[in-house]
Amino acid sequence: MIRLGLIGAGRWGRNFIRTITNLDGVRLTRLASRNPESRNLVGSDCVVSSDWRELLDASVLDGVIIATPPALHGEMASAAVAAGLATLVEKPLVLALAEATTLRDLVRARRGLLMVDHTHIYHPAFGELKKQATKLGRVRTIDAEAGNHGPYRDDVPVLWDWGPHDVAMCLDLLRELPREVRATRVAHERVGNAEAETVRLDLIFANGVEARIRISNMIAKTRRLAVHCDDGVLVYDDLAQNKLVLHQEVRGALLQPAGIPITVSPELPLRRVVEAFVTAITEATDRSASLDLAVEVVAVLEQCDKALVAS
């Protein structure tokens, strides 16, 4: 039995609770939350504490999941790793590259495990997209759009709230960092103490591939990524009935404009995230890929952040 602890019982933390409850061989043993109502979210055998530091005990836990605001990730993850606990952190890893690299150095020095929940990397449709893309020749461009009406956060800007998933998918697909990064604020307005905005990111890679990403908390809910290859276009749409569709091309002409749906597993990506974390805890394999990708995502977002400030 793998014993997990969870720090944070907000919206995403509650998703983790439901996911763990439905997994065999995994038990949520401890929960840290300052909300007294969180006691009602877990079983009577789960110890609930208002202080997250009390949770970090490797004698009763095999791993800990951190589902708190990003500004807290660095301190909490460092403490968990130092306590000898395998750690899974909600995206983004942290909000600054220097903190990300320091954290990675700590993990390496301790021979620890730290993974980051870039949920869409684990989506069955995205995994199948990567397989199908190898059959369609060179990737030429990537177009992505993600957003919703909200959430409006006063602690996390749109770039760091919505951007990590799309940047992670682009980096994971292309297996390299962009040589040039541009960021443009397309629209902006105040909503209470928070910001509503639309941001365009342009990532240009050394092989000539360009990824164009639009993220916003001012639009109808969307999560779509289109990968244009030499011989077709693969469209991952998390909100569509058919999560992955292939549009085949011959000499630039679409053979079937409506596209060909590709069957993918209905398994929820968060379940796959937790399963991958449990597997990494139990198996002595190379466990650095998730953390390395997370550091690269922070590096790209930090460049975008600087470009927005300079614009």
- Structural domain spans, the chain: 2-117, 121-266
The mean pLDDT value for 240-254 works out to 79
Fold annotation for 2-117: Rossmann fold (3.40.50)
The mean pLDDT value for 163-176 works out to 98
Q: Which CATH class is domain 121-266?
A: alpha beta
Beta bridge partner(s), residue 77: none
∠ CA 291-235-95, nearest 5°, is 30
- Write down the pLDDT at residue 88: 98
- Write down the pLDDT at residue 104: 98
CA–CA dist 29, 46 (Å, integer) = 5
Per the model's pLDDT, the better-predicted residue between 256 and 97 turns out to be 97
Closest CA to 17 of 290, 291, 302, 274: 274
Residue 93: pLDDT band (50, 70, 90) is very high
**How much of the chain, in percent, has pLDDT values that exceed 70?**
96
- Mean pLDDT of the residues in the chain: 94
- Write down the pLDDT at residue 249: 67
Topology match between the domains 2-117 and 121-266: no
Q: Which ranges constitute the DSSP H helices of 83-240?
A: 97-110, 124-133, 158-174
Q: What tens digit of pLDDT does each residue of 19-28 get?
A: 999 999 999 9
Other beta carbons less than 10 A from residue 279's beta carbon: 12
Phi-psi region of 111 (alpha: psi -120 to 50; beta: other; left: phi over 0): left
